[in-house]
A and B are shown apart, each in its own frame.
Chain A
């Protein structure tokens, strides 16, 4: 009897865990660069507190799609986005949306670590300062420390917070950029090939970090490394020639994908 009730409880728990909540939803997203169409009606739901990896051959539109999620495409001359993207139910392309605030909620980490040529402290405190997130010096110190802790960098830099961020190693610089993104308490973090300039050890540290950040943030990562997608993500989306061809559990994607194009791509076969 006891066993019965335990399994019943487990079922309820499982059901609860199976209730998926979507942080961002893209519907029929198309992107044009001038006359050139780069994305075709992409529909992708990004799960909350989940790492979603975007994979696919170069030029298939991964970065383009990623940039639509925080309107980074707005900064590109001649770029036009159609369709709908919502963040917690709100259309982020609605005219009433403040883009600066949007980018604080949906942060971004780029391929090449790009710290400001300023101190480590200033790199991290810059965002919170312009968003008015810390009132006193003590508040700011706390934000900087927490952010560096979360980026797994605190122990390495705590004694040299006022040295230049550009003096750090590549892997440390990338973690500094992650600390900078985390400092404004975003809800979603977008990463575009964040490890492509890093060696395997620095890459492993970033991947471990992604794994930890997932508890507090929703993460979308573009990667050209299939193994990285397999290691860090729970969901994987495969793009091909501007189309989303498959989105699936990462476990399924790497053992038995549904789409032939995904198969060929991840197995390294001629498509």
Chain B
């Protein structure tokens, strides 16, 4: 990659940002994994732990931004250095949002606790989470290696998650139509599914940022579309259930 700076302290500042982003990534992954585990096993203690961890990411993002601003002011970075710093700011924001989504899922554990979750739905949510987490893990690996090609590949794979989310959405609608008492817990689960699906979008955003940091240009072509549920209605869900 790039040769080191003449000012070695500058390299240290950039390395600090990279290290903190990787740490944030690890925390965000753990929070998401725990939140889904807490949900499917209705584990209130674990949910509480996830909720309390959110401040770690908030604080990390704040520190990354502060370091980035100080580095910009002192070093007036250009070219790849500037993209590196802007990238760190953006990625920190994405990871902080991922943490929020994990926390939101964890909060809903208390609402669905008494009703419990049907086994089939739990499996669907777990599967969705597996994919989203895999994407998040891969994008964090790409952050470490800075491979523009791999960043692009991740971005192109988001539709897998969208497909599963859409099928979960249909399933949840079916449950709600079967018994109105399912509506409250299923609505919470729907938000949880949406949270997990959104994590895939954040991973995609991070992949795009890494691509930009590495190449200096935005990845070309449309990114995969959001979920397809905007046009789904109950009747459709019924016919496919």
Contacts and interface: CB of A to CB of B under 8 A. Distances in A.
Contacts of B3: 264, 269-271
Interface in A128-162: none
Contacts of A268: 5-7, 10
A263 interface: yes
Contact of A267 (B79, B215, B217): B79
B212 to A, nearest CB: 10
Contact of A254 (B10, B78, B215, B217): B78
A46 B227 CA distance: 52
A269 B5 contact: yes
B152 interface: no
B82 A255 contact: yes
B76 interface: yes
User: For this complex, into which size category does the number of interface residues on chain B fall?
Assistant: 10 to 19
Contact of B217 (A227, A230, A256, A271): A256
A269 B216 contact: no
B138 interface: no
Contact of B79 (A227, A257, A270): A257
Interface in A221-271: 226-227, 230, 254-257, 263-264, 266-271
A269 B217 CA distance: 22
Contacts, number: 46
Contact of B77 (A256, A257, A267, A271): A267
B6 A269 contact: yes
A196 B189 CA distance: 66
Given A255-B216, A256-B216, A256-B217, A263 B7 contact: no
User: For this complex, into which size category does the number of interface residues on chain A fall?
Assistant: 10 to 19
Given A255-B216, A256-B216, A256-B217, A266 B79 contact: yes
B159 interface: no
B45 interface: no
B221 interface: no
A263 B2 contact: yes
A267 B80 contact: yes
Contact of B2 (A254, A257, A267): A267
A38 to B, nearest CB: 25
B78 A266 contact: yes
A254 B83 CA distance: 11
Interface of B: 2-7, 10, 76-83, 215-217
What are the 3 A-B residue pairs with the smallest beta carbon separation, nearest first? A256-B216, A254-B78, A270-B3
Given A254-B79, A254-B82, A256-B216, 10 more contacts: A254-B78, A255-B79, A255-B82, A256-B80, A256-B215, A257-B79, A267-B5, A269-B5, A270-B5, A271-B3
